[in-house]
Structure 1
Amino acid sequence: MKDLLSTTIGDSSLARQLFGIYRAQSLRMMKFSLHEQQGDLFEQLAIQALHIAVQATKRKEIRNIAGYFDGVLHKLIDQALFEDVFMEYDLSLEGLFL
């Protein structure tokens, strides 16, 4: 991710912002021993989130691309790491109260 963002030409403040968001979210998850070996996964998700954010700017007006990137990356990380956890608890709410 750092190599990709280092190729930006001109004002690199947006690139620094995006890299900071990536580092903050990935380090937050990697401090848990369960996810500390998944650095490559976080980097792939960050590149995918960057691609989604750039494609979204072509379809609609986005005022804050860094905020959009932050939301997309957060959602991708949640889906990649925690989606299968909720599948284990497949009991309906009605079953909890009976």
Structure 2
Amino acid sequence: MMNILSLTRDISKTREFFGIYRALSGRMLKFEIYKGKEDVFEDLAYRAMRISVMAMKTKNIRNFPGYFSGVLRELIDETFLGDVYQGYSVLVQNLHW
């Protein structure tokens, strides 16, 4: 991730985006269930950066690091927590008393 961000040649922005990536992935990686999935988090960060850049081309984004953080958070939730929500979502019609 750091190598990809260093291509911008702006050290302050590189550190800012890498800090966002480390903060969001670090929260998850401290749990035993996510050990060994560092590559998945790095891939999600790359996808989030790509989505953010593509969105910047079509939208007026005032806070690009905030947008990147939101996209990365959504990708992490979708990847790791999407199955949890599906397991507990039951239609009201399917509930039996």
Q: Provide the TM-score with structure 1 as the length reference.
A: 0.90
CA-based RMSD of the aligned residues comes to 1.4
> How far off its partner does 1:36 sit?
1.5
Which residue of structure 2 aligns with residue 52 of structure 1? 51
- Shift, 1:7, TM fit: 2.1
Please list every run of 5 or more consecutive structure 2 residues that lacks an aligned counterpart in the other structure. Answer: none
The answer to whether the aligner puts 1:2 opposite 2:2 as a matched pair is yes
Cα deviation 1:18-68 (Å, max 9, x = unaligned): 100000001100000000111000000000000000001100110010000
Aligned position for 1:62: 61
CA distance in 1, matches of 2:92, 2:12: 47
Q: Which runs of 5+ in 1 are unaligned?
A: none
- Please identify runs of 4+ aligned residues in structure 1 that moved more than 6 A: none
Q: Distance in 1 between matches of 2:21 and 2:35?
A: 15
In 2, Cα distance between equivalents of 1:32 and 1:70: 20
Q: Which is richer in helix?
A: 2
Residue 89 of structure 1 corresponds to 88
1:79 aligns with 2:74: no
TM-score, normalization by structure 2: 0.91
Matched, 1:38 2:37: yes
Aligned residues, how many?
96
Give identity over the alignment, percent. 46
Which letter does structure 1 place at the counterpart of 2:5? L
Separation in structure 1 between the aligned mates of residue 33 and residue 68 of structure 2, nearest angstrom: 25
